[in-house]
C-alpha cells in the first residue's frame, strides 16, 4: 500500500506499512471516514510528518489523539486553525510560554513551530468526531511508537516534552543518555495547576538546544509571517535585478538590521518574484515564540513588500 508521507519518514516507517496491523488499521480508518465525520481531514492525517521531516526534528511534543471537535484538529498535536476558539490546554500552554520565556502568543496554529523543528505528534492520528479515543488501540500507537524509536536511536540531542501520564509512558522508547526528556503534568485545566505551570519546558528546551549546537540552525526561514506579532522570517523584496546589482543596498540593509537587532540572510530571488530577497531571522535564543515586527522605516516604497511565504521558490 502506498502511503503519502514525507519521504524521510517513509524510508524509516516503510517496514511498519508492510505489517499486517497496518493493513487492518488502514481499512478501519477508511471505513470510519466513509461512515461519518472524523478528525482531522484525511489530507492532514500525516501533517506532523510532512511539516517536520526526520532530519529537521529538534523537539518532540507528544499528544494523545486529535481534537474530536470538527474543524479543530489539523494534524498537529495541540494546534488548531486560526479563527477557531482555543482549546483550554492550548491556552494553558500559552500561559506557561508567557511565564517561562516572556512570549505573548495568541496564534493558535502551531505550524510555525513545526517548521522550526518541533515535531507535534499525536500518538493516535485520527478520531471519530465527538468521540474521544475512538480510534485508540487500532494500530496507530505502533506506528507512532516506531517514529519515536527511530528518532531516539538515529538522532542525538533532541528534546522530548512529555505532558501527562499517557505521554510519559512513552519514556521507555527514548534514550535519556542521548536526549533531554522533560516530563510534567498535562496542560489540561484538570492538571495544569499540579505542576505544569512553572515547569519551564520552553526555556529548558532552548538552553539544551543551544548547549548542543541545535538552536543555531533555526536561523533560516522560520515559517509564515504572523501579521499581528511578526512571527517567523520577514522577506523584503526589491524590484527586478539589473545586471549584478541587487535592488537593496548593503548600507540600507545594515541600518535595518541594526534597528531591528537581528541578523539576515540575503540571496537573489528566482521564479516569479525576481529581485533581491533578504530574510530577517529569529535569534537563536528565541526558538519558541515570536519575533517583534520588523521596523521597515526608511525602506523605499518599491522595496517594502513583506512576504508571508517561507520561500520564494
Each residue of 12-21: pLDDT tens digit? 999 999 999 9
- Determine the length of the chain: 313
Across the range 131-136, mean pLDDT stands at 96
pLDDT for position 201: 93
pTM for this model (two decimals): 0.73
50 labelled catalytic: no
Pairing of strands 127-128, 234-237: unpaired
Is the per-residue pLDDT at 85 higher than 90? no
Catalytic entry in 65, 100, 112, 226? 65
pLDDT for position 235: 42
pLDDT tens column, 225-246: 222 223 333 344 443 332 333 3
pLDDT for position 44: 96
**What is d(CA 196, CA 162) in angstroms, rounded to the nearest whole number?**
11
pLDDT tens column, 192-225: 999 999 999 998 998 898 888 765 333 222 222 2
Contact 216, 284 (CB under 8 A): yes
Across the range 296-313, mean pLDDT stands at 40
Burial of 41 (0-12, 13-18, 19+ CB in 10 A): middle
- CA 248 to chain centroid, in Å, comes to 31
Across the range 162-186, mean pLDDT stands at 96
Helix 140-154, helix 20-35: angle, nearest 10:
130
Helix 7-17, helix 140-154: angle, nearest 10:
130
Amino acid at each position: 500500500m502506498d502511503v503519502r508521507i514525507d519521504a524521510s519518514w517513509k524510508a524509516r516507517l516503510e517496514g511498519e506499512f508492510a505489517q499486517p496491523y497496518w493493513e487492518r488499521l488502514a481499512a478501519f480508518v477508511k471505513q470510519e471516514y466513509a461512515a461519518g465525520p472524523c478528525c482531522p481531514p484525511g489530507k492532514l492525517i500525516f501533517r506532523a510528518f510532512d511539516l517536520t521531516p526526520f532530519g529537521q526534528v529538534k523537539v518532540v511534543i507528544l499528544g494523545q489523539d486529535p481534537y474530536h471537535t470538527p474543524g479543530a484538529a489539523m494534524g498537529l498535536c495541540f494546534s488548531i486553525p486560526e479563527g477557531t476558539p482555543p482549546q483550554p490546554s492550548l491556552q494553558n500552554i500559552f500561559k506557561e510560554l508567557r511565564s517561562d520565556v516572556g512570549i505573548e502568543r495568541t496564534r493558535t496554529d502551531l505550524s510555525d513551530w513545526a517548521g522550526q523543528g518541533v515535531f507535534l505528534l499525536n500518538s493516535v492520528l485520527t478520531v471519530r468526531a465527538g468521540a474521544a479515543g475512538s480510534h485508540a488501540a487500532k494500530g496507530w500507537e505502533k506506528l507512532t511508537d516506531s517514529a519515536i524509536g527511530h528518532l531516539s536511536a538515529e538522532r542525538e540531542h533532541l528534546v522530548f516534552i512529555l505532558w501527562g501520564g499517557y505521554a510519559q509512558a512513552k519514556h521507555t522508547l527514548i534514550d535519556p543518555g542521548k536526549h533531554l526528556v522533560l516530563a510534567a503534568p498535562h496542560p489540561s485545566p484538570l492538571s495544569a495547576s499540579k505542576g505544569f505551570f512553572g515547569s519551564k519546558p520552553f526555556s529548558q528546551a532552548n538552553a539544551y538546544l543551544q548547549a548542543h549546537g541545535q538552536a543555531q540552525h533555526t536561523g533560516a526561514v522560520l515559517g509564515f509571517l504572523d501579521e499581528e506579532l511578526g512571527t517567523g522570517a520577514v522577506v523584503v523584496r526589491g524590484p527586478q535585478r539589473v545586471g549584478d546589482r541587487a535592488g537593496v543596498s548593503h548600507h540600507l540593509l545594515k541600518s535595518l538590521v541594526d534597528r531591528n537587532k537581528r541578523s539576515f540572510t540575503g540571496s537573489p530571488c528566482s521564479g516569479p518574484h525576481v529581485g533581491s530577497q533578504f530574510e530577517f531571522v529569529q535569534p537563536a535564543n528565541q526558538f519558541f515564540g515570536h519575533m517583534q515586527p520588523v521596523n521597515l522605516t526608511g525602506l523605499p516604497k518599491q522595496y517594502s513588500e513583506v512576504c508571508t511565504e517561507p520561500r520564494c521558490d
